[in-house]
Structure 1
């Protein structure tokens, strides 16, 4: 026995209001937010990789500059003449560098040695410069 019956149009409205799921607008909004987030994450990842690459070049360039400076520290400073310079290409792994060294003699007999190491890769742009002054002892 049916006590109360809604008209057919009223029932269809009630059914439509109770349907569950996502509308196309909600899906498009979610996709847009996801795309913005993904682009930001991609850019951050690319920048992180570039910084890691540059850091590796900087580290090796510093090592090469210190190695050359240690070579000079192991030699007799009086053997270094004013205007002496050395230019060489050095490779470590798959990285290539140009190492330039020069000597300047001062009026007190001290020698200042300059070592510049530059990455040959146009991507990194790494340059390291060291300078040290060696004094002649006992003069």
Structure 2
């Protein structure tokens, strides 16, 4: 993998706007998520992260602090950069920063075909499968793993 820089960026900064463009590319254009579902009010308060390689934003995610956990979401990597460990590196960096700020419990909703990826990062799926953005998803968490039950 080429040199990769991962950093948090302020909402609506130049780098965050590049991340929003990447999200549109991945979610709206590639995965056909309705554009009106791609951005939400959480974008205003989330901590956004970008991965920069070869001088461009090639990955992004956001963290949303909730009372019960920190939610990881909108994980996206540009198609030509996939398979290089960028998503894993971003998630690990974001969780490390959140842990340094006292956060210990992480949650996400994963596209059902990506469960194995998140399991390798220590997450377990629970609850029923549900549709989000026109694709099946599962809730996942990295805490209270023994009580996580799948419902089908």
Quick check: TM above 0.5? Answer: no
**Higher-helix-fraction structure:** 1
Task: Look at both structures and tell me which one has the larger radius of gyration over its CA atoms.
Answer: 1
**Larger strand share, 1 or 2:** 2
